[in-house]
């Protein structure tokens, strides 16, 4: 939305030509962030000001100036009956003041060339019109070209902020619901199991499973420190699967009220000397992988530091199983011990 | 010292969506190009200074909740990395200066590590 802040990057085709008039592809969809998404979702009528101050064409400019001053606004639409015939802004009044003509009627100084937006348009079309025209406000009309409101850039910013706040609240609600899982479902032992298939050498998706796991734990009401420790441990394990395995592996998270178990299983190549791989700085990563910043030989060391218990079993030619456990203090994960 | 002041003083380019950077007050900084070292050494709300610019730095930064990544020596992340950073709410900053120079300036500005 603000290419001027990214001088060192060539604008994409999308940014140059806009997205209007063609449907959004999957690739586009991935590139759209929430704010952009909102500018397509939100409609003009949802953010505009509907409570309007208006002027009539006969009204003297001095009276409009008073309306603007009292209401802290910088322009008003001009209506003849209920037909929109122009817009009068402070700039128009300044022009009149220069000629000392504040008693002139509105019709003499108003802008008649009208740029409008329709109420059911998405706000992106209003944003487009603002940036094309450099205007500060636009009249909003319905399908019969009847004035229904005014929209300013401030209205758009406010509308987006309110919608983002709503997103945030929805996340809170999700978190609240998930955090009741362990209370609401009664069993002798409840375990929530999440599985992720990790592909070998798939650096593009490296860290995705870990970030999903961290979010899941937070939604389940885990202490942020614990979620963070799990996130770091599981990230290192995920990256190990990506760097070292022959066919990838499975990353599993098991959440119980008193502990979190994370594990990875793969089918090769297996580790020859486990004591050696536990040495800080020991690495078998290729030069190519190390250039990306992986393969520092700190992965397992980091895992050990983050979890309460780490077990690793491996057979060359068969595969490796890594189990990491974090024990949850009872006040965490919103667990209520039922009697 | 807030992130807005840091961006201005070091003349950093903001690669991700603009935000109100005055609200971000980094607690310290960490410098490394080795992701596992960053995992071990960087704390949440730290600045991370690195030469790395590929997609995986975003995952690391998101897990650690760093305040921002400063990518040095004009190493330019691709559009997928920038998109991912926006999605995860990670701020990517870029500079032509070397890591050494940025570290030195940040330290002079009072951004020290916390023990």
- pLDDT tens digits, residue range A128-173? 888 888 788 899 998 888 899 999 988 998 998 888 888 888 888 8
Contact between B33 and A293 using a beta-carbon 8 Å cutoff: yes
User: How many Å apart are CA B32 and CA B103, to the nearest integer?
Assistant: 11
- CATH fold for domain B3-108: 3.40.1390
- Give the model's pLDDT for residue A28: 53
- Other residues' Cβ atoms within 10 Å of the Cβ of residue A55: 24
- Give the model's pLDDT for residue A332: 52
Contact between B56 and A293 using a beta-carbon 8 Å cutoff: yes
Q: What are phi and psi of B7, to 5 degrees?
A: -60, -45
- Give the model's pLDDT for residue A289: 86
Partners of A323 in the beta sheet? A263, A311
Residue B58: its chain A contacts at CB < 8 A? 207
pLDDT above 50: residue A187: yes
Residue A214: its chain B contacts at CB < 8 A? 63
For residue B19, name the pLDDT band (cuts at 50, 70, 90): confident
Mean of the per-residue pLDDT values for chain A?
84
For residue A33, name the pLDDT band (cuts at 50, 70, 90): low
- Give the model's pLDDT for residue A9: 45
3-state secondary structure B48-69: EEECCCCCHHHHHHHHHCCCEE
Residue A296: its chain B contacts at CB < 8 A? 34-37
Least confident of A160-169, A274-283, B36-45, B61-70: A160-169
- Give the model's pLDDT for residue A67: 92
Question: Three-state DSSP class for A194?
Answer: strand
Q: Is B34 left (phi over 0), alpha (psi -120 to 50) or beta?
A: beta
Q: What is the CA radius of gyration of chain A?
A: 30
Say if residue A81 is exposed, middle or buried (CB neighbours under 10 Å; 0-12, 13-18, 19+): exposed
For residue range A35-54, what is the model confidence (pLDDT) as tens digits?
A: 777 777 788 999 998 888 99
For residue range B61-91, what is the model confidence (pLDDT) as tens digits?
A: 999 999 999 999 999 999 999 999 999 999 9
pLDDT above 90: residue A27: no
Residue corresponding to tokens 């580790």: A271
Residue corresponding to tokens 């980091």: A302
Contacts of A175 (CB under 8 A, 6+ apart): A218, A219, A221
Mean of the per-residue pLDDT values for chain B?
93
pLDDT above 80: residue A337: no
Partners of A76 in the beta sheet? A88
- Give the model's pLDDT for residue B25: 93
- Name the closest residue on chain B to residue A304, using Cα atoms: B40
B28-87 residues touching A, CB cutoff 8 A: 33-37, 39-40, 44, 50, 52, 54-60, 62-65, 74, 76, 79-80, 82-83, 86-87
Gap between the terminal Cα atoms of chain B: 18
For residue range B49-66, what is the model confidence (pLDDT) as tens digits?
A: 999 999 999 999 999 999
The shortest C-alpha distance from B68 to chain A (Å) reads: 16
Least confident of A56-65, A173-182, A200-209: A173-182
Distance set, CA A329 to CA A44, A219, A256, A334, B85 (Å)? 49, 17, 12, 10, 33
**DSSP label at A203?**
G
For residue range A83-128, what is the model confidence (pLDDT) as tens digits?
A: 899 999 999 999 999 999 999 999 999 988 888 999 988 888 888 8
User: How many Å apart are CA B50 and CA B2, to the nearest integer?
Assistant: 20
Contact between B63 and A208 using a beta-carbon 8 Å cutoff: no
pLDDT above 50: residue A8: no
Q: What are phi and psi of A86, to 5 degrees?
A: 180, -175
User: How many Å apart are CA A310 and CA A263, to the nearest integer?
Assistant: 10
Rounded mean pLDDT, A184-203: 91
- Other residues' Cβ atoms within 10 Å of the Cβ of residue B71: 26
**DSSP label at A22?**
S
* Minimum-distance CB partner of B39 among A203, A211, A236: A236
pLDDT above 50: residue B9: yes
- Give the model's pLDDT for residue A131: 85
- Closest CA relative to residue A92, chosen from A72, A68, A115: A68
User: How many Å apart are CA A45 and CA A311, to the nearest integer?
Assistant: 59
Count the alpha carbons within 13 Å of B34 in the hemisphere toward its beta carbon.
Answer: 15
Contact between B13 and A6 using a beta-carbon 8 Å cutoff: yes
Name the helix (H) or strand (E) containing A44: helix A44-47
**By percentage, how much of chain B surpasses pLDDT 70?**
98
**By percentage, how much of chain A surpasses pLDDT 90?**
46
Query: What tokens appear for A286 in the block?
Result: 């290729």
Residue B50: its chain A contacts at CB < 8 A? 293
User: How many Å apart are CA A214 and CA A216, to the nearest integer?
Assistant: 5
**ipTM of the complex, rounded to two decimals:** 0.75
The shortest C-alpha distance from A262 to chain B (Å) reads: 16
C-beta of residue A92 within 8 angstroms of C-beta of residue A59: no
The shortest C-alpha distance from A31 to chain B (Å) reads: 5
Domain residue limits, chain B: 3-108
Domains of chain A: 24-156 (3.10.580.10), 181-334 (3.30.565.10)
- Give the model's pLDDT for residue A335: 44
């Amino acid at each position: 939305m603000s290419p001027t802040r990214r001088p060192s990057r060539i604008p994409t085709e999308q940014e140059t030509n806009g997205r209007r008039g063609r449907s959004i592809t999957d690739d586009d969809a991935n590139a759209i962030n929430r704010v952009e998404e909102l500018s397509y979702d939100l409609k003009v009528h949802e953010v505009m000001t509907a409570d309007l101050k208006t002027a009539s064409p006969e009204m003297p400019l001095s009276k409009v100036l008073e309306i603007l001053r009292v209401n802290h606004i910088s322009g008003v639409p001009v209506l003849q009956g209920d037909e929109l015939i122009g817009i009068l802004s402070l700039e128009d009044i300044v022009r009149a003041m220069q000629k000392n003509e504040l008693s002139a009627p509105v019709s003499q100084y108003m802008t008649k060339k009208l740029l409008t937006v329709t109420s059911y348009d998405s706000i992106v079309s209003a944003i487009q019109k603002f940036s094309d025209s450099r205007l500060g406000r636009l009249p909003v009309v319905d399908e019969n070209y009847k004035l229904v409101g005014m929209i300013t850039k401030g209205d758009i910013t406010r509308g987006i902020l309110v919608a983002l706040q709503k997103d945030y609240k929805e996340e809170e609600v999700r978190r609240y619901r998930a955090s009741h899982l362990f209370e609401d479902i009664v069993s002798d032992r409840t375990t929530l199991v999440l599985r992720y298939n990790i592909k070998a050498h798939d650096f593009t998706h490296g860290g995705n499973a870990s970030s999903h796991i961290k979010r899941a734990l937070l939604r389940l009401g885990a202490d942020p420190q614990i979620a963070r420790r799990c996130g770091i441990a599981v990230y290192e394990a995920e990256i190990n699967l990506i760097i070292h395995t022959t066919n990838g592996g499975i990353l599993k998270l098991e959440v119980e009220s008193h502990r979190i178990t994370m594990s990875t299983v793969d089918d090769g190549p297996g580790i020859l000397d486990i004591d050696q791989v536990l040495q800080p700085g020991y690495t078998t990563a290729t030069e190519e992988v190390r250039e990306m910043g992986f393969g520092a030989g700190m992965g397992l060391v980091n895992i050990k530091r983050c979890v309460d218990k780490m077990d690793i079993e491996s057979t060359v030619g068969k595969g490796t199983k890594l189990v990491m456990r974090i024990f949850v203090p009872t006040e965490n994960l919103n667990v209520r011990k039922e009697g | 010292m807030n992130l807005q002041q840091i961006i201005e003083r070091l003349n950093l380019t903001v690669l991700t969506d603009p935000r109100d950077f005055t609200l971000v007050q980094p607690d310290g900084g960490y410098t490394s190009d080795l992701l596992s070292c960053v995992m071990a050494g960087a704390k949440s709300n730290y600045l991370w200074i690195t030469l790395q610019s590929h997609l995986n730095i975003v995952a690391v930064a998101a897990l650690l909740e760093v305040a921002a990544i400063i990518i040095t020596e004009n190493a330019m992340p691709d559009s997928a990395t920038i998109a991912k950073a926006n999605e995860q709410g990670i701020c990517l900053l870029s500079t032509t200066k070397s890591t050494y120079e940025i570290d030195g300036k940040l330290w002079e500005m009072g951004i020290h590590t916390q023990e």
